[in-house]
Chain A
């Protein structure tokens, strides 16, 4: 018995999904803190938060794609695929929410939207906080799929023969 290849279809999702988790969480923290800083330093942190948000949003769309790839393999083996379905739904919600926030931020940064800039900044942070809520719950559901149902996990034979 040979050890299966590591580069299976379902492995691309865990390889990509941790980037949006980190980037979008830090984007939220940085943008939130920037609201309370003095204008001189706030500009730097607003810009840093924007780039974290853009990179994180792109990573979220990539993760949505790799998650869809994994779904076709993993759902067939789970004892409760409804957990995976909820994970997928909340992953979509968080991606849409952060995308709206990123588009608003782009519009403001490149002066396409000039109406009440302070209000727009606050609105972006509110969206980031809502998105982080979705992100946390989607992550929890993803963990339930992996750690409760071994979703996407290769389970070795009892005698570990394939590793000899």
Chain B
């Protein structure tokens, strides 16, 4: 850089906190920020106004911004960034931060804060967002000195994206954004308490290999950790070497192609009967990047009681948290699997599991995923299958939460990782639509669907405006049963059909709603109109809301009642 004033060349340029923030974000490779302006972030927005290399997407609610950042992160593996002002802006991020925390998604949430001098005085739009989010972030910062800002941002991205990923929050008082200091991006990080395990315990790997070769009825159980670690290839290799059947948690969907013979689909409450039977009768459950969530294990004291359990997880605290583990393997899934595959290959280990495969094939045959077809009635499962067929399984599928989510998980075959975007741990209604915005921003050419229920879609439907403003060709498939379907299902099965407050009357006309926002709305009431509607939406560059009218009594089956063993299924 040349300067007219030779004295200034020796003196590095002083920048404001807002300028430092934008420069640091650019240094971290951030391309898009989802945010919403407000009083305490005005200096940051003024800097965004001047910045060319980072796109800012104005959502209509901060919750939309954080879910969009989340969707962006899940579909790319890169950290998602969102920005909100202090007080209500910051607290509106809370659900999205908790959502990302539960599913280990790397996001960096930046919040404005009242000026340092006003901190702690219950000032206008002040909220202790660091205090509020401490239990739901991997780490959080309140920046008290502009000199710390660059370091904090550098640390935040490092913490969010390494080890077990997760959300990090940076709270920046307004005065910090206007004060000036020299911009030095720290080349190294000083985090003595943040240890990343880089080695693999080969002794344990050998034990695991020996257990695998001895197993008669083994099952692989993969989770979101396989996807975030980028270990799908290693899973493929493991299957090639051992032929062990595989099941997955909701977060693990896409880690291994659904259309492969060894894939048993999802495990747990709404898992397939054959996956549940396989896990229940297994003599070796090999958990890989999965945390044995209660939605999967069902009643814990009956889960895998006859099985040896091997567990790989990057977070040692997950090992032994819910189930007793026989062979713990703490470490990055990809690295551990590479070592394990080496051992299996070199020693020619291959378990003898023909009878087991036979047994599973019989279960598959006897208890397939199924639904009844009724002439003239649209079945939600059929809609999901048709979305798969119309997109050759290449679409990005986002989901809301509830029946729509479970039908999507059961009937959409995921063929590659990061294509199935859903709120697993927290189960956040209203997640899918904004997440789809993040996905579409990251993949402008891709076909993106949000599979929704009529309840969930109304939780963040304001984001249709963001979608239309940014010309995002997102397709929303509402499986409209005019009820809060999953809650109604529980009421029918376990609460004597007391349908307490699950009927959604007074809904908007979704076709008109689409029209009001400048999107296209289609109501679909006959099975034969499903495919043409999907084709039209996919081929159009406009955003579409497809309102599929389905019947209220359709249920998600199989279902393991809460607190039961997973071999105990309704409607299998």
Q: Do A and B come from one complex?
A: no
